[in-house]
Amino acid sequence: MVRKPLKGVGETNLISIIRNIINTSEDNDLEFMEIDGNTLAIKVDGLSLSTSRMPFMTYFDMGWKAMAAVGSDFLVKLSRPLYAVVSITMRGRLRY
């Protein structure tokens, strides 16, 4: 197995990795996998402050925007989100 640094993998490649692991090629915003007879829907998404945050938006607004974007993907597929795992990457020189 060739190991690559995590940096630069990106959303599309991460979804490809997950598709290979669960052996599916269905093109969805959500990926579905069976675990112990239950269907689990998972979603990987990301936003960039530099392109997604409008000047009038607070960081609280950005949080709502990110969760609404992911939540809507679940709703479109008639799935109910149960948990959220959030990762925030910020530049060291960012002022808040």
Q: CA 56 to CA 53: how far, in whole Å? A: 8
Residue 9: closest CA among 50, 58, 38, 44: 44
pLDDT tens, per residue, the chain with 96 residues:
666 666 677 777 777 777 788 776 665 677 788 889 888 888 877 777 778 888 899 989 988 988 888 888 888 788 887 887 777 666 666 665
Prediction pTM value: 0.55
